Amino acid sequence: MTMGHCLESKLILINKNISIKATILIRCHLALRLKMTKGLSHQGP
């Protein structure tokens, strides 16, 4: 019983880490896209 609970908590921790990394990646991606679009709009006529 304790083993299963330990594994479950480990999986929850892993999922939390993945979600945190995913949100950071998404934020970086959005920031890059914003910079790209701003740069393109500045280069416009």
**What pLDDT, in 10s, does the model give residues 1-45?**
466 677 888 888 999 999 999 999 999 999 999 988 887 776 655
Report DSSP state, residue 1. -
Mean pLDDT of the chain: 84
At 42 the pLDDT is: 67
pLDDT the model gives residue 6: 78
Tell me the C-alpha distance between 8 and 16, whole Å: 12
pTM beyond 0.85, yes or no: no
